[in-house]
Structure 1
Amino acid sequence: MPELPSSFTARPIAHRGLHDRAAGVIENSPAAFRRAVGAGYGIEMDLQLSADGVAMVFHDDTLDRLTAAKGPVRARSAAELADIRLTGSEDRIPTLAEVLALVDGAVPLLIELKDQSGGLGQAAPDLERAVAADLKGYAGDVAVMSFNPAMIGAMRDLAPDVPRGLVTCGYVPSQWPMLSPETCTALRSIGSFGAVGARFISHDWTDLGSPRVRELKAQGVPILCWTVKSPQAEAEARRVADSITFEGYLPPLDPPQD
């Protein structure tokens, strides 16, 4: 199983790119990715699927929050999505292929596949197929991850050479109303880690004291975390995490040494 490249723990990772809405640099936009590359940070980004099966770089499953358009991302073709301007900027919604060409190996790319099942369960692996096709031949450091273990299991089969991980948290049932308490318990245990061929986790930084996280760390599993928003939070998170995903401030490029 492919290991997570050391570049992912050698520098902080900009959450959805190095965005700054006040400056017209919107999350998951080409401008945010160029800004992260220029600053030397790694990049975390999110993927949704278009109606015609193209991996699109966008966090939400609907267009409403970040654009003047409405409705599901998946209801529109890639060409239609590419014409939609991100509110507050001149950028449009990019495809994964476009972002791969933009970054071109300059910094590591941490790619989150957003759940397509509606409940972190099984669904047709259409997004996974699109991602595997786009990543074929990409020469830069890249890794994929998801809250949905089934999607990472699909990536194991479709792109076995791409490092895989799970996005994890404490799964408090009140914060996950679409999931049953039993599903929350199962996901909290990170029990599918070995079965899906995961090699790292990215965990909620406020829950890094979890016994399961510490167990994985003791086994040598790289621990990333999300989403750190201050130097004070970073100092606390780095007591456990090997690297951070951050937004809202500029952490030092060189992580502190033990």
Structure 2
Amino acid sequence: MTSIGWLTKVPIAHRGLHDLNRMRWENTLSAFDAAASAGFAIECDVHLSADGKAVVFHDGTLDRVTGQQGNIDELTAKQAGKLRVGGTDDHVPTLEESLKLIAGRVPIVIELKGIPGRDDGLVKAVADDLAGYGGQAAIMSFDHHLIRLFDKDAPGIPAGLTAEGLRVQELEAHFSMLAHGIDFVSYNVHHLENRFVEFVRERLGLPVISWTVRSFDDKAVSDAHVDQITFEGFDPRTA
């Protein structure tokens, strides 16, 4: 099991410290620099570009964030980098660019966004970017087919399961992923508490973080059941 005590030390800014996409947008270098400057850890999302690079972007499609049509995985990293985010000066960055900017100032948790049949090499691309990185970093995913590759393609990198749901079949699917050596769990704050999270924390002794906390009421729920928040839209340190 990989040491990951640092994961729960400080609140984690969801897609960086953005302002709900008014002036400083999610998953941009500006949002990452703001989070690092404020001392918050950073969560970000990555997709695989057409030329096999990890690019920082949440959606599969381009329209919401860039106003363009098409899919992020159909662009090369260079093409993605020419797109402006939300009409601002920020561009769609690569993971490599983001890590260079963050430079170990705060931890980073990277969520891998899979597209089955179109994401071969994503785990390896992220691992390659992290190979020379000196800061604290972890990877995680909703996608079970990617998690099954973590041990082989990203050995030694702290790895987690992103999850949600309260139905029996959903919880059982989460339990099945414990066989793949995960080091932590990130769970939907609106689906706390549940027996899977309780088992992971109390029986396995693994850290659990929550997503996405958008108010002090959400934070109170999270604080009662897991170890740290992933937040946006407010400053959790101002209560």
Question: Normalised by the shorter chain, which TM-score bucket?
Answer: over 0.9
Q: Compute the displacement of 1:39 (Å).
A: 0.5
Q: What percentage of aligned pairs have identical amino acids?
A: 40
Structure 1 partner of 2:36:
37
Corresponding residue of 2:150? 155
Cα contact 2:175–2:196 (8 A) shared by 1: no
Separation in structure 2 between the aligned mates of residue 236 and residue 252 of structure 1, nearest angstrom: 16
Pair 1:216-2:200 in alignment? yes
Check the 8 A contact 1:97/1:134 in 2, yes or no.
yes
Partner of 2:179: 195
Alignment-mate amino acid for residue 200 of structure 1: F
* Matching residue of 1:46: 45
| Secondary structure of 1:244 counterpart | strand
SS in 1 for 2:225: coil
1:32 partner SS: helix
Instruction: From the superposition, tell whether residues 247 and 186 of structure 1 become closer, same or farther in structure 2 (CA, over 3 Å).
Output: closer
Q: Partner letter of residue 136 of structure 1?
A: A
Q: Which residue of 1 aligns with 2:57?
A: 58
- For residue 159 of structure 2, what is the aligned residue in structure 1? 164
Q: Report the count of equivalent residues.
A: 238
SS of equivalent to 1:89: coil
Q: Is the 8 A contact 1:153 1:197 kept in 2?
A: no
Q: What one-letter code is carried by the residue in structure 1 that aligns with 2:153?
A: L
Q: Deviations 1:53-74 (Å, cap 9, x if unpaired)?
A: 1100000011010012111001
The amino acid that maps onto 1:73 is I
Q: Which residue of 1 aligns with 2:113?
A: 114
RMSD of aligned alpha carbons: 1.9
1:235 match: 220
Match of 1:7 in 2: 6
Letter matched to residue 248 of structure 1: G
Aligned to 2:237: 252
- 1:99 and 1:193 map into 2 onto residues whose CA distance is 29
Q: Are the equivalent residues in 1 in contact too, given 2:16–2:26 (CA < 8 A)? A: yes
SS of aligned partner of 1:162: coil
Mean alpha-carbon deviation: is it higher for 213-222 or for 35-44? 213-222
Runs of 5+ consecutive residues of structure 2 not aligned to the other structure: none
The 2-side partners of 1:152 and 1:80 are apart by 28
Partner of 1:87, secondary structure, is coil
> How far did residue 132 of structure 1 move?
1.1
Instruction: Kindly indicate whether the alpha-carbon contact (under 8 Å) linking 2:20 and 2:232 is maintained by their aligned counterparts in 1.
Output: no
Distance 1:22 1:216, change over 3 A: closer
Cα distance in 2 between the residues matched to 1:123 and 1:72: 11
TM-score with structure 1 setting the length: 0.87
Q: 1:88 to 1:145 in 2, by over 3 A?
A: same
For 1:132, what is the secondary structure of its paired residue? Answer: helix
Q: Which runs of 5+ in 1 are unaligned?
A: 173-183
1:181 paired residue number: none
In 1, are the aligned partners of 2:45 and 2:56 still within 8 Å (CA)? yes
